[in-house]
Structure 1
């Protein structure tokens, strides 16, 4: 079992496509550099200015240490952070434990969905 964090964002009108580009091209490489496991991400099917990001952790300590490493880094603070934050109107977070199989199936569905777009 791993701890999965799901972030849900309501974005400023008309910013969903640019937000997705920022996440894909600038934010995710930094996440990967601090050993965060990105399970899935993207614009919501119901609205282009709604977005989600799912990240998996071994436990709460892993979540806290990797988020500390990410959010305190200069590459994050001086990189995509300002552009990302200025597009977010509301941010919600939830966490749940998921099996490795469920995480991998979710990851695979996301990869397939992005390949179709």
Structure 2
């Protein structure tokens, strides 16, 4: 069985990584999961300063569009953690890939979210 994963990487404004992680970890990810989205992994990227990732898995492209449309169009998101995250993003990039369920489980296990990000 295959899953569509969305790999979203963010380049954050200088000095905003700790606050971005706090908002993602305590507010956005719990909200995403409460709406049924499969958040595979999220956290600081090791290869560059001020970069962050969010990986979600979906059954299909249609499921991705429906789930994200409902979530990002909701008042709960717009009035909740949206500005705490969006205001700290300089740029972001999405990549969609088809992978096996085993690959998703491996990503989930090998990239478990940590507490506060290492800001060097």
State the partner residue of 1:8.
9
Return the TM-score normalized by structure 1: 0.93
CA deviations 1:50-95 (Å, max 9, x no partner) are 0010000000111011101110111100001011110000110000
Counterpart secondary structure, 2:111: helix
State the partner residue of 2:104.
103
Over aligned residues, Cα RMSD in angstroms? 1.4
CA deviations 1:1-38 (Å, max 9, x no partner) are 00000001000001111111110100011101221100
1:90 to 2:94 alignment: no
Q: How many residues align?
A: 115
Q: Which has the higher helix share?
A: 1
CA contact (8 A) 1:22 1:84 kept: yes
Return the TM-score normalized by structure 2: 0.90
- Write the distance in 2 (CA, Å) between the matches of 1:88 and 1:77: 16
Could you list the runs of 4 or more consecutive aligned residues of structure 1 that deviate by over 6 angstroms after TM superposition?
A: none
CA contact (8 A) 1:17 1:48 kept: no
